[in-house]
């Protein structure tokens, strides 16, 4: 009679049970008061299906959709159900692979013709029938040779190819209804456990991602444990489409990309460039206030520089091809760090010179494969908000604490309040002395602890040249974006033989810290567009105020209002078109300008402006001085305080 222990999510034993011989993990869950929401078990750290037999001494943790392992199992099972629906509807289709992915799943098929939207609707309908039939997911262990024979007899050559690459003598196959698939599993107990799903799209793909191989059809879908969760996800997808920075970038005339010039190379249009200038001005101001010096370095460097840095040995495939000038080989820079090191080594440095904090908005070029380019989020030419700190060992703790706080300050200024922080520690293969790694990791951890923010630790996940902190920001619809990094480097100081003269008069190696706050201006701008859905806060908006004269007779007054605001540093435009004011308001709303000032004869006589706020409508009349004070204050505070200012103004009336 096997004895098992039931664990909670903290791996604490909550109960122990003696079960009859032949009991399954499903029996164990039921014996311990489990629910139907629990559809698998984590047994001694390994995921198991509920129909598998228990063993004496098993330690069992129930798995549901909320469990870290639950979503993947649930969605991979959905992929099998989708494939079985395709098998019933399209008997001649061949099956490749069908994994779970973030928030969903896909399956690749070789078809006689591309799938259509009507096909997706039919497949989804058939899936609902299969779910209703509540077919059990059965597991069988067969020899590899038998599996090859079975799948070959069905004409499933993709499965045969996978099997030929497997060395295990036995493999597992799963079957529900008439559908059989090669799979490690486990799966849901039965198809009836699937609660809510949706097929999303179909796209072309290649077998095993090789463009020289067969063209396949890939169906994407998503599945969730409740209909409400599915509805919420579909709403987020629609909201993400609405916020797509590529779509908004075109509508708001912010940027463009041109294949005839080169993929992944960004053209900043005047309106986008205004925002970039504001970002850069703030960046420089903030760095100066935080004790950084601004530097500028070349865009190209001799091959010997990249040989010393190691880039030609480890990174050449991502560098643009070499250029030869005067019989000397040059490369366009993929990174700024070697250039900052050259500045450091230009003079003999003393411990009194440190810390040195050097920052650069340095444009770099990296060759990304065409298939991964994505608007502003994955480009080939971009401007890093790069900085390098050169510090003594005694300065490490203080400098890391400062740089983490500075990073969070900048991100909060841009409107981000939710963060995910991760500390990555020494991997198995690493350069540098163990005691230096220990000091660096402790400094990073102290800063994280002091911040008061929750963080995860990725043991062994650091780069080979140093530990790091990664910061992910959460946008307005809950998506995470990796932007900021604080990275120690024990490699480059050695390669470039960097030194400083210590108090003892001897040469010592400085600590080098790479640091990016926004990551790159291009990618961060793309994130900002989607975060704000193009409706930027006043301090970032390309046009903060648009003045709308009701008629041509009011144009001179509109120009005088605009001139007064421009003198105060406000980015303002006048819509001088001979159009109805309603059309002008509509166009200003479409451009998402924060404020519109409608001016007519009465305003001209009274010296007022009729104020409208994007998305809110009419805010009433204000004197020119009152509005100017409000917009200047809102711009200076780098936050949207319009509602507060207006509420206070109304309270005093």
Residue-wise pLDDT for 271-287, tens only, equals: 999 999 999 999 999 99
pLDDT tier at 639 (50, 70, 90 boundaries)?
A: low
CA distances to 44, 70, 318, 429, 579 from 337, rounded to whole Å, are 46, 42, 16, 22, 54
Residue 147, in any domain of the structure: yes
Kindly state the helix (H) or strand (E) to which residue 246 belongs, with its residue range.
helix 245-251
Which residue out of 119, 218, 337, 571 is catalytically annotated?
A: 337
CA distance 174 to 412: 49
Average pLDDT over residues 112-116: 93
What pLDDT, on the 0 to 100 scale, is given for residue 31? 87
Residues 6+ apart with CB under 8 A from 147: 159, 163, 171, 173, 182
Same structural domain for residues 59 and 76? no
Residues 6+ apart with CB under 8 A from 348: 501
CA distances to 278, 360, 516 from 521, rounded to whole Å, are 11, 12, 11
3-state secondary structure of 466: strand
Same structural domain for residues 517 and 444? yes
Position 11 pLDDT exceeds 80: yes
Of 63, 87, 103, which marks where a domain is finished?
A: 63
Residues 6+ apart with CB under 8 A from 41: 25, 28, 29, 47, 48, 49, 50, 60, 61, 62, 63
Outline where 391-462 has alpha helix (H): 396-413, 434-451
What pLDDT, on the 0 to 100 scale, is given for residue 1? 82
Residues 6+ apart with CB under 8 A from 260: none
Of 241, 268, 286, which marks where a domain is finished?
A: 241
CA distance 208 to 304: 38
CA distances to 157, 177, 180, 214 from 152, rounded to whole Å, are 6, 20, 13, 18
Q: How many domains does the chain have?
A: 4
**Helix orientation angle between 521-532 and 227-243, rounded to the nearest 10 degrees:** 120
Which residue out of 58, 181, 386, 603 is catalytically annotated?
A: 386
**Cα of 202 vs its chain's centroid, Å:** 23
Residues 6+ apart with CB under 8 A from 306: 312, 319, 331, 338
Least confident piece of the model among 22-36, 135-149, 183-197, 351-365: 22-36
Q: Are 222 and 124 in contact (CB under 8 A)?
A: no
Same structural domain for residues 437 and 381? yes
Residue 176 pairs in a beta bridge with 179
Express each pLDDT in 214-234 by its tens digit: 889 999 999 999 999 999 999
Express each pLDDT in 258-317 by its tens digit: 999 999 999 999 999 999 999 999 999 999 999 999 999 999 999 999 999 999 888 888
CA distance 633 to 639: 9
Of 63, 81, 104, which marks where a domain is finished?
A: 63
Express each pLDDT in 555-608 by its tens digit: 999 999 999 999 999 999 999 999 999 999 999 999 999 999 999 999 999 999
What are the φ and ψ backbone dihedral angles of 604, each rounded to 5 degrees?
-60, -40
Greatest distance between any 2 Cα atoms in the chain: 96
For residue 53, give the CATH number of its domain.
3.10.20.30
Question: Can 514 be counted among the known catalytic residues?
Answer: yes
Same structural domain for residues 24 and 98? no
What pLDDT, on the 0 to 100 scale, is given for residue 423? 95
Start-to-end CA span in the chain (Å): 83
Which residue out of 38, 384, 544, 591 is catalytically annotated?
A: 384
CA distance 389 to 517: 13
Q: What range does the domain containing 367 cover? A: 256-297+333-527
Question: Can 508 be counted among the known catalytic residues?
Answer: no
Q: Are 78 and 65 in contact (CB under 8 A)?
A: no
Average pLDDT over residues 39-64: 93
What pLDDT, on the 0 to 100 scale, is given for residue 650? 36
Question: Can 366 be counted among the known catalytic residues?
Answer: yes
3-state secondary structure of 146: helix
Outline where 134-216 has alpha helix (H): 144-154, 157-164
What pLDDT, on the 0 to 100 scale, is given for residue 552? 95
Same structural domain for residues 290 and 374? yes
CA distance 423 to 441: 8
CA distance 246 to 403: 32
Residue 309, in any domain of the structure: no
Residue 429 tokens read as 């293969």
**Cα of 179 vs its chain's centroid, Å:** 37
Express each pLDDT in 179-205 by its tens digit: 999 999 999 999 999 999 999 999 988
Q: Are 331 and 323 in contact (CB under 8 A)?
A: yes
Same structural domain for residues 150 and 194? yes
- Closest of 502, 511, 400, 392 to residue 450, by C-alpha: 400
Residue 50, in any domain of the structure: yes
CA distance 500 to 369: 41
3-state secondary structure of 642: helix
Q: How many CB atoms lie within 10 A of CB 231?
A: 13
pTM, two decimal places: 0.84
CA distance 463 to 434: 14
- In the numeric block, the tokens 């039931």 are attached to 6
Report the chain's mean pLDDT, rounded to a whole number: 92
Which residue out of 366, 374, 402, 508 is catalytically annotated?
A: 366
Same structural domain for residues 180 and 87? yes
The alpha carbons of the chain give a radius of gyration, in whole angstroms, of 31
CA distance 71 to 224: 8
Q: Are 82 and 24 in contact (CB under 8 A)?
A: no
Question: Can 483 be counted among the known catalytic residues?
Answer: no
Same structural domain for residues 13 and 55? yes
Q: What is the dihedral of CA 406, 408, 413, 417, to 10 degrees?
A: -170
Same structural domain for residues 591 and 503? no
Position 643 pLDDT exceeds 50: no
- In the numeric block, the tokens 């008069």 are attached to 505
Which residue out of 75, 245, 349, 468 is catalytically annotated?
A: 468
Residue 303, in any domain of the structure: no
Residue 380, in any domain of the structure: yes
- In the numeric block, the tokens 């640091």 are attached to 515
- Closest of 236, 241, 221 to residue 479, by C-alpha: 236
Same structural domain for residues 231 and 352? no
Same structural domain for residues 77 and 220? yes
CA distance 460 to 86: 43
Residues 6+ apart with CB under 8 A from 273: none
88 CB burial (10 A radius; 0-12, 13-18, 19+):
middle
Position 465 pLDDT exceeds 80: yes
Which residue out of 80, 218, 340, 388 is catalytically annotated?
A: 388
**% of the chain residues with pLDDT over 90:** 84
Average pLDDT over residues 119-131: 97
Outline where 290-358 has alpha helix (H): 303-309, 311-314, 337-344
For residue 563, give the CATH number of its domain.
3.40.50.800
Question: Can 601 be counted among the known catalytic residues?
Answer: no
Same structural domain for residues 474 and 383? yes
Position 644 pLDDT exceeds 80: no
Q: CA geometry: angle at 585 spanning 584 and 589, to 5°?
A: 115
Which residue out of 514, 546, 592, 624 is catalytically annotated?
A: 514
For residue 233, give the CATH number of its domain.
3.30.980.10
Residue 311, in any domain of the structure: no
Express each pLDDT in 362-377 by its tens digit: 999 999 888 889 999 9
Residue 306, in any domain of the structure: no
Residue 305, in any domain of the structure: no
What are the φ and ψ backbone dihedral angles of 392, each rounded to 5 degrees?
-85, 160
Annotate 57-103 with DSSP letters as a single string.
T-EEEEE-TTSTTHHHHHHHHHHHHHHHHHHHH-TT-EE----EETT
Q: How many CB atoms lie within 10 A of CB 494?
A: 14
**% of the chain residues with pLDDT over 70:** 98
């Amino acid at each position: 009679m096997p004895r098992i222990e039931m664990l909670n999510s903290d791996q604490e034993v909550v109960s122990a049970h003696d079960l009859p011989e032949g009991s399954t993990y499903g029996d164990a869950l039921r014996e311990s008061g489990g629910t139907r929401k629990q559809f698998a078990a984590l047994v001694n750290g390994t995921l198991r299906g509920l129909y598998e037999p228990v063993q004496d001494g098993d330690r069992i943790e129930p798995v549901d959709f909320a469990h870290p392992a639950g979503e993947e199992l649930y969605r991979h099972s959905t992929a099998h159900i989708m494939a079985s629906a395709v098998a019933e509807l399209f008997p001649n289709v061949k099956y490749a692979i069908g994994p779970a992915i973030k928030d969903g799943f896909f399956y690749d098929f070789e078809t006689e013709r591309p799938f259509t939207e009507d096909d997706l609707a039919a497949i989804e309908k058939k899936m609902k029938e299969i779910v209703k039939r509540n077919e059990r997911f059965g597991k069988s262990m067969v020899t590899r040779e038998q599996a090859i024979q079975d799948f070959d007899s069905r004409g499933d050559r993709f499965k045969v190819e996978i099997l030929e690459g497997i060395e295990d003598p036995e493999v597992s196959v799963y079957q529900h209804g008439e559908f059989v698939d090669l799979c490690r599993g486990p799966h849901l107990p039965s198809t009836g456990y699937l609660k809510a799903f949706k097929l999303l799209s179909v796209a072309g793909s290649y077998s095993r991602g090789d463009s020289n191989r067969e063209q396949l059809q890939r169906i994407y879908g998503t599945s969730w444990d409740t209909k409400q969760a599915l509805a919420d996800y579909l709403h987020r997808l629609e909201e993400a489409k609405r916020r797509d920075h590529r779509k908004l970038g075109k509508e708001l005339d912010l940027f463009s990309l041109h294949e005839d010039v080169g993929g992944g190379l960004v053209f900043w249009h005047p309106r986008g460039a205004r925002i970039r200038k504001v970002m850069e001005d703030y960046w420089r101001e903030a760095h100066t206030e935080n004790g950084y010096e601004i530097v500028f370095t070349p865009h190209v460097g001799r091959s010997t520089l990249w040989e010393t840095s190691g880039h030609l040995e480890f990174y050449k495939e991502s560098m643009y091809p070499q250029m030869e000038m005067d019989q000397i080989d040059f490369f366009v820079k993929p990174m700024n760090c070697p250039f900052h090191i050259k500045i450091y080594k230009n003079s003999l440095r003393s411990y009194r010179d440190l810390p040195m904090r050097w920052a650069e908005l340095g444009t770099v070029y990296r060759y990304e494969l065409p298939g991964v380019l994505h608007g502003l989020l994955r480009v080939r030419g971009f401007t890093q908000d790069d900085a390098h700190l050169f510090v003594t060992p005694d300065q490490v703790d203080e400098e890391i604490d400062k740089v983490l706080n500075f990073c969070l300050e900048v991100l909060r200024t841009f409107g981000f309040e939710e963060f995910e922080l991760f500390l990555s520690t020494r991997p198995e293969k690493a350069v540098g002395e163990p005691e230096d790694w220990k000091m660096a990791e402790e400094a990073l951890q102290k800063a994280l602890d002091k911040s008061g923010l929750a963080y995860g630790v990725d043991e062994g996940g650091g780069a080979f040249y140093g530990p790091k902190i990664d910061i992910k920001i959460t946008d307005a619809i809950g998506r995470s974006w990796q932007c900021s990094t604080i990275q120690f480097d024990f490699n480059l100081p050695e390669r470039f033989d960097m030194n400083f003269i210590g108090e003892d008069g001897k040469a010592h190696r400085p600590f080098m810290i790479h640091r990016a706050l926004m990551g790159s201006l291009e990618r961060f701008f793309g994130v900002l567009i989607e975060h704000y859905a193009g409706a930027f806060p006043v301090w970032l908006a390309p046009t903060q105020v648009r003045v709308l004269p009701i008629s041509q007779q009011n144009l001179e007054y509109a120009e005088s209002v605009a001139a007064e605001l421009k003198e105060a540093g406000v980015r303002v435009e006048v819509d001088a078109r001979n159009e109805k004011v309603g059309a002008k308001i509509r166009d200003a709303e479409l451009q998402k300008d924060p404020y519109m000032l409608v001016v007519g004869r009465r305003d001209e006589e009274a010296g007022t402006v009729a104020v409208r706020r994007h998305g809110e409508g009419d805010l009433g009349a204000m004197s020119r001085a009152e509005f100017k004070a409000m917009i200047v204050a809102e711009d200076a505070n780098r936050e949207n305080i319009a509602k507060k200012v207006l509420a206070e103004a109304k309270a005093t009336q």
